[in-house]
Chain A
Amino acid sequence: MIRLTAITRTFHMGDQAVHALNDINLYIGSGEYVSIMGPSGSGKSTLLNIIGLLDRPDSGSYELDNRMIIDLSETEQAQVRREKIGFVFQSFHLVPRLTAAENIELPLILSGIPQKQRQSRVEEALQAFELMQRANHRPAELSGGQRQRVAIARATVMQPSVILADEPTGNLDHQIGSEVMALLEDLHHRGTTLIVVTHDRELGARAHRQIGMRDGKILTDQSNDAV
């Protein structure tokens, strides 16, 4: 459950203020599948970063799973990121010198999970995303789709309650992109809240709820009750 109330985020470029988020009020229930669309610079990534605790709003309040997030210390926020949130980025952000398996293992290491458990969980994730053959390959040796699968495996290995994907298919061709979307939707089917930022109307329409943004504000918010 995500509840944003009167969130603002302003960037100052010299003496110019950019209102990246301007009084955002938003409630997303557990297990929802939401897409966020809007023109470039409308504040989509900023919104996602605030939901993912990578960025702090200038004002407003944020409640995640009945916890007020803004008051948490840096360390507590890191813990929330570790345990509740999985990020998927457009440019994958894999660590280039680590293998696919080691990249997937990273969140488990950060959480202090013992080696033995880590191994079996990484194994499971590799299997789930059909990466067994690629386990010991470095990102440079993987295709774009495989890289994004590794990134999704890494985002989900801690079994977070929310997956935040910022243009996850932006660097992939159409076919591979919809395969990756199918993987994400699969997670949603198993109960994870899924929030996807996309420029692709077709992909965006697959979500049960579509949010349109412009100039730091939520312009439209519609649900497909049909699904």
Chain B
Amino acid sequence: MTLSDTLQTSFKTVLSYRIRSLLIVLAMALGVAAVVVLTALGDGARNYIINQFSSIGTNLLVVLPGRAETAGSFPGAILGQTPRDLTLADAQLIGRIPQVKRYAPLNVGAAELSAANRLREVTVLGSNTNLIPIRHMQLAQGNFLAQGSENSAQIVLGAKIAQEFFPRSQAIGQRIRLNDSRFLVSGVLAAQGESMGFNTDEIVIIPIHHAQSLFNTTSLFRILIEAKNHSEIESVKHAVLSVLKQSHDGEEDITVITQDAVLATFDRILHTMTLAVAGIAAISLIVAGILIMNVMLIAVTQRTTEIGLLKAIGATSANIRYLFFAEAIWLSAAGAILGFFLGQFGSWMIRIAYPLLPAWSPIWASTAGIAVALATGILASLFPASRAARLDPVNALSKR
């Protein structure tokens, strides 16, 4: 019996048991579709988060006070000392490292903003002119700490705040109060919306010196650094650590986080999540495989005399086995292909419903879904097929 005849014959058999075949194909298809859709969701979420996190800056490093790894490694802690603060002097030292493209010291706090008979609490960032490019923010109008105005009391308003306070007039040039200090609006941020849970439309930015006197502090919350290029991120990290160790009397009491490392961690965690989700979805494929096995065992019983007849007219055991195999392959292949398209359709619907989520199933997931479907189908048919092949023709013909 030729391969193509085996395939054709079993295809006809599959077609002639319409309802039975349809149910199996559907079960398989739902399994594959589940793999495709769930991995599309998982990978979409991963890409979404990675993109968001990448968009906050390029080649970014963040310096924060204190050692993050182990509390005990800071010897001062035993003596009741708190770690040394980060200061503007530290920031300036960092600025001298050759691989550093630019840096921005950062203070964050809340203050009351009042102008034009309005009053509200806002988040205040204190920084220098580099904050805006380092954090990939954009000014819609005006500027921030342009040359020659480094020490003036100027303020940049988030898009929404500018809109709230000066709905009908030009915000730039207006006077505004933060707590008791006066500021002159020098710029307005472009509307950006929320990113990483932080809405830049509802913040204000003032020069770092003003922020420190506003919050009555000399220490910094963070220092943001942009390396000159990607390959220098690690060397910047080491340079920062050693420069600040020196200036902190030999204590390594700061932590440097690179955007890269955080990205890699996110990526790993979310990728693992996608894998886990795919695995769970694949269980439904195993269930479909068990369904195939059951239905095939029933088919062998139903078609016992037919199998006996085939042997009587010269079919070998191998012929019979391949016929049942081929049936399983048709069913699972049809299920896999239908499931793949169902899954793609489902992912497309998700992308329509949530345009921000890049819900594309990764190729490995679709391939694995289809492969697992085929493999379970074939595995599930092994036992029924060999049972059919082993049937004794005389007994089969008389259904003894």
Contacts and interface: CB of A to CB of B under 8 A. Distances in A.
B318 interface: yes
Contacts of A14: none
B117 interface: no
Contact of B5 (A54, A83, A112, A155): A112
Contacts of A75: 316, 318
A97 B311 contact: no
B397 A110 contact: no
A214 interface: no
A109 B314 contact: no
Interface string A6-25: 00000000000000000000
B1 interface: yes
B316 A87 contact: no
A74 B316 CA distance: 7
Interface size class of B (residues with CB under 8 A): 20 to 34
B396 to A, nearest CB: 9
B79 interface: no
A93 B309 contact: yes
B260 to A, nearest CB: 62
A95 B306 contact: yes
A111 interface: yes
Given A54-B394, A97-B13, A110 B312 contact: no
A154 B313 contact: yes
Interface string B317-329: 1110000000000
A78 B311 contact: yes
A40 to B, nearest CB: 14
Interface in B288-321: 305-306, 308-319
B16 interface: yes
A79 interface: yes
Given A97-B13, A97-B16, A110 B2 contact: no
B95 interface: no
Contact of B316 (A49, A52, A78, A97): A78
B390 to A, nearest CB: 11
A54 B393 contact: yes
A54 B316 contact: no
B309 A95 contact: yes
A2 interface: no
B321 to A, nearest CB: 12
B9 interface: yes
Given A89-B397, A97-B16, A112 B1 contact: yes
A206 interface: no
A134 interface: no
A141 to B, nearest CB: 15
A111 B5 CA distance: 10
Interface string A81-109: 11100010100010101100000001101
Given A75-B318, A97-B13, A109-B9, A81 B313 contact: yes
B394 A112 contact: no
A221 interface: no
A49 B16 CA distance: 31
Nearest to A89: B397
A54 B314 contact: no
A23 B393 CA distance: 23
Interface string B151-167: 00000000000000000
B1 A106 contact: no
A82 B305 contact: no
A111 B314 contact: yes
Contact of A107 (B9, B16, B314, B394): B314
A200 interface: no
Contacts of B9: 109
A133 to B, nearest CB: 22
Contact of A110 (B16, B313, B394): B313
Nearest to A73: B316
Contacts of B13: 97
B377 to A, nearest CB: 22
A168 B183 CA distance: 111
A75 to B, nearest CB: 5
Nearest to B308: A93
Contacts of B319: 78, 110
A107 B309 CA distance: 10
A107 B313 contact: yes
Contacts of B306: 93, 95
Interface string A59-84: 00000000000000011001101110
Contacts of B314: 78-79, 81-83, 107, 110-111, 158
B92 to A, nearest CB: 87
5 contacts: A78-B314, A81-B314, A93-B308, A97-B13, A110-B1
Given A83-B314, A89-B397, 15 more contacts: A54-B311, A54-B394, A55-B394, A78-B311, A78-B316, A78-B317, A79-B314, A81-B313, A81-B314, A93-B312, A95-B309, A107-B314, A110-B315, A111-B314, A158-B314
Nearest first, the 4 closest Cβ-Cβ pairs linking A and B are A82-B314, A78-B316, A97-B16, A81-B314
